[in-house]
Amino acid sequence: MIIRILGEGQYDITDDHLDELNEPDSALQSAADAGDEAAFRTALNSLLGAVRRLGTPLPDDAITPSDLVLPDQDTSLHQVQALLSDEGLIPG
């Protein structure tokens, strides 16, 4: 699965890492639902950090469609609330 972090680049994530991404994604969903800015910021940074740690960065010149697009770390709580589905940002 190819995940893009806006303003940063794309990462190739194997399917066996999706469960690991769902933990910070669930925390992000809960924080966004509660409107808790501090918990939201922590969860977003954790999710983005997990993508960076678990994924393999794709070269900048690679032209590959992204399966998922995540906001950058400066995205506001309100903006992410508009992006969230019932499954968070990471389906599954």
Question: For 82, which DSSP code?
Answer: H
pTM of the model: 0.87
Burial class (CB in 10 A: 0-12, 13-18, 19+), 60: exposed
Determine the pLDDT at residue 85. 62
d(CA 37, CA 25): 15
How do residues 10-56 score in pLDDT, each as one tens digit?
A: 999 998 998 899 999 899 989 988 999 999 999 999 999 999 999 99
Task: Tell me what pLDDT residue 86 has.
Answer: 62
